[in-house]
Amino acid sequence: MNTHPRLRPGATDATYQVCYRVGELPSSPAARSDYNGGVVRPGAEKMVVWSIVLSIAFAIGLYLFIDSRIKASREAALKTVNAEAELKEKRGPSMLDAAAAVAVPFVANVGAGRFADAYQLLAAPYRSAVTPAAFEKTCRESPLLAGARSVTLNRLRQQNAGGAATVEAMGVLDSRAGAVPIGFVFLQESGRLRILVVSLAGVPVLQGVTPR
């Protein structure tokens, strides 16, 4: 009896014939090819770690970039402000500041009854046309002037005619009788502003244009 090499031990040629006919002939194991057997694949944990590391590095880089831009913008704005301040210091006070430096003490003196001090801040043409007594009488007769507490100037207009110059300043008078728009006309005298006309709500109440 001959056994067949492709069948289990003890199988004869006849068994082989029977198995062949019914399709039960065992086949030899198929050969397998492992094409990636020599390739080392990174683990999923390593890939996650590297993703986190790269994300953190990107976030830090972005933060540093934005922070540097903010600092640069802040420094540029600070330089601009400092340059403007230095320029203002070199130029001296503005004309509006100069007008306020006269109008504020004038109103404070009138409101406090210090008419002699306020009179000294008036322009020469006014003092030539209006006596101190007449000036005091006019101020006392105006509830707004007599009750004056403070003044704020917010607008200014300057006009030049030949060698002469006038300055008009407008603002708001705060008085115990209420708040009202106020206007001043100044003259330049020896490099200083002096008051020629004072108007309340557009109506001149103190003016040295004509004798009174």
The pLDDT tens digits of the residues spanning 110-149 come to 999 999 999 999 999 999 999 999 999 999 999 999 999 9
pLDDT of residue 93: 63
In the predicted structure, residue 85 carries a pLDDT above the cut 90: no
Residues 147, 111 contacting (CB under 8 angstroms):
yes
The pLDDT tens digits of the residues spanning 153-185 come to 999 998 877 666 789 999 999 999 999 999 999
Give the H/E segment covering residue 149. Answer: strand 148-161
pLDDT of residue 44: 79
Kindly indicate the confidence band of residue 84, based on its pLDDT and cuts at 50, 70 and 90: low
Query: Beta-carbon neighbour count of residue 96 at 10 Å?
Result: 16
Tell me whether residue 78 is exposed, middle or buried, using C-beta atoms within 10 angstroms of its C-beta: 0 to 12, 13 to 18, 19 or more: exposed
Angle (CA) 72 77 79, round 5°? 95
Residues 153, 99 contacting (CB under 8 angstroms):
yes
Kindly indicate the confidence band of residue 25, based on its pLDDT and cuts at 50, 70 and 90: very low
In the predicted structure, residue 197 carries a pLDDT above the cut 70: yes
CATH of 95-207, one of 1.20.1300, 3.40.630, 3.10.450, 3.30.390: 3.10.450
Domain range list for the chain? 95-207
The pLDDT tens digits of the residues spanning 132-143 come to 999 999 999 999
Kindly indicate the confidence band of residue 26, based on its pLDDT and cuts at 50, 70 and 90: low
pLDDT of residue 92: 47
